[in-house]
Structure 1
Amino acid sequence: MTKGHAHYAVSILGVPFHNVSQHEALEWVETAIASGDSHQVATANVDFLSHAQKDPCVKRILRECSLVLADGMPIVWASRLMGKPLQQRVTGVDLVPLLAQASAERGYGIYLLGADAGVMARAVAELRRQYPNINLVGCDSPKAASLEEMDHDGMLRRIENARPDILLVAFGNPKQERWIYMHRDRLKVPVSIGIGGTLDLLAGRLRRAPLWMQRSGLEWLYRASQEPLRLFPRYLRNALTLLRYLPADILESRSSKARTPGTITINRQSTGVSRKSPLLED
């Protein structure tokens, strides 16, 4: 048996982020599929942190996720300031193509949930164009509604009939995380991941920032230029959240000697993947 590699988790404003690369995240997903258990994965950015500070339920959901990925350079920068640097950011829009490729090569069934019908159709067409052998077992664009008014039974029934290995939910944060968590006991899907606006990008409704902007941490500015009325207020709120809470969190992290990092184990020869990863204390 090949020895697995342990990766620490760093707590940022009470939310654990696991120190994995894009390809290690893919390995983790494949191991989780083989485990036979159900797992929730979050691709979390500063907006997640902002919601988590105001809503204890959102924070609890993120803390109980099996894997939390750093979807944004500010998260990576914060981890460096805390002295526990994350390897890299792992965004939903970067992870989905890796999953699509794995599906095409190894047959993993993928189910897409969310976005409007037009965006879904274009996203599916693009995935099939790029990955002709992708195993898309279903897609569903439910009518826009609040979480309380959604047709949960209908969605769950269609997912159960499709029996996917990977469920990608594009309701936006924190709705998608709430929805997955709400149905965690009924969902028999090995890996459920909230992917935010990834389908909009795949469909071409939104454009991805140039690579130099992605690498320099300016992708947020490019995105805001496309949706200024929606995103500029959000980014201002998120910046204020960091200014308010992060300095004290950094000081506590650097001064604490007793804090022990949580770990996740990646071992492709083993199916022993825990539903809950050990997390740092607040």
Structure 2
Amino acid sequence: MITAMKEPDFGQILDSFYWNLPDGMPGVWVGRLKGATNMDRCYGPEFFKRVFQESADKSVKHFLCGGKEGVADELRQAVASKFANHNVVGTYCPPFRALSDDEFKALGNQINQSGADIVWIGLSTPKQERFAQQLKKYTSVHFIVTVGAAFDFHTDKVQQAPAWMQQLSLEWFFRLLMEPKRLYKRYLEIVPLFIYYNLKDFISDNHPKVVQNS
């Protein structure tokens, strides 16, 4: 959300998506304050888990795209053992650099030939959303879903925050404690800006409206 405020082109990418689901509780709280009283969290790793569980005995085929080298293959094994889902038809771990159009086209062809129905992308934000935006030009799948750290969580490479911390919107703090060197700069910027932008937006929405009839 903060990146979308700072980078309008990224905001346009989010606006072009079919769904934008609230992965964290802070977004849910803001949505409820703005009138979406039935809004609830759709936690990426849990959403990933539920879809794989529910589709285990169905003909839905999955393609895993993301993570460091080898992580997607480990995840294929994890979903087979944890969720009894053996319908992963392909994996791909993108390099840290940006892919060229030819590389996206080759990946799209690989996905199309695999017969996948859903492509799961597990990269950091905003990289994964930009990646999905490019990839959709070259694929004919039904859904491309970005799920962030779900790949690392379900391969047990990263520990998830306890449920009570997630409910209190303290997952960011737990992750900061686990990876302080990597995350402290991000959260030092994001947390204050999230509060600032939403207070500013809330005040603007509740400002008296002037109607002129002339």
Same fold per TM (> 0.5)? yes
Tell me the equivalent position of 2:212.
none
Cα offset for 1:80? 2.5
- Give the Cα–Cα distance (whole angstroms) in 2 for the partners of residues 188 and 136 of structure 1: 17
Residue 177 of structure 2 corresponds to residue 228 of structure 1: no
What is the 5 A alignment of 1:185-204? Answer: 185-204=137-156
SS in 2 for 1:98: helix
Partner residue of 1:167 out of 106, 119, 135: 119
Partner residue of 1:78 out of 24, 30, 50: 30
Deviations 1:134-155 (A, max 9, x none): 3111111133322459832331
Cα offset for 1:254? 4.1
Partner residue of 2:16 out of 60, 64, 74: 64
Tell me the equivalent position of 2:162.
210
SS in 1 for 2:107: helix
Does the aligned pair in 1 maintain the 2:53–2:84 contact within 8 Å?
Answer: no
Q: 1:184 to 1:119 in 2, by over 3 A?
A: closer
Larger relative strand fraction: 1
- Give the Cα–Cα distance (whole angstroms) in 2 for the partners of residues 149 and 230 of structure 1: 30
Cα offset for 1:246? 1.2
Does the aligned pair in 1 maintain the 2:109–2:138 contact within 8 Å?
Answer: no
- Give the Cα–Cα distance (whole angstroms) in 1 for the partners of residues 193 and 102 of structure 2: 30
Deviations 1:225-263 (A, max 9, x none): 111112121112112222332112113334589xxxxxx
Q: Which has the higher contact order (CA 8 A, sep 6+)?
A: 1
Tell me the equivalent position of 1:135.
87
Identity %: 29
Which structure has the greater CA radius of gyration?
2
Deviations 1:48-106 (A, max 9, x none): x1111121111001111111100111101112332333531111111001110122032
Where do 5+ consecutive residues of structure 2 fail to align?
210-214
With normalisation by structure 1, the TM-score equals: 0.68
Does the aligned pair in 1 maintain the 2:61–2:116 contact within 8 Å?
Answer: yes
Deviations 1:138-192 (A, max 9, x none): 1111333224598323311211111211110112211111122123332211110
Does the aligned pair in 2 maintain the 1:100–1:134 contact within 8 Å?
Answer: no
Residue 66 of structure 2 corresponds to residue 114 of structure 1: yes
The letter for the 2-side match of 1:128 is A
- Give the Cα–Cα distance (whole angstroms) in 2 for the partners of residues 152 and 192 of structure 1: 14
RMSD in angstroms over aligned alpha carbons? Answer: 2.1
Aligned residues: 209
With normalisation by structure 2, the TM-score equals: 0.89
The letter for the 1-side match of 2:12 is R
Q: Using the TM superposition, name which of 123-132 and 240-249 deviates more.
A: 240-249
- Give the Cα–Cα distance (whole angstroms) in 2 for the partners of residues 79 and 107 of structure 1: 35
Tell me the equivalent position of 2:204.
252
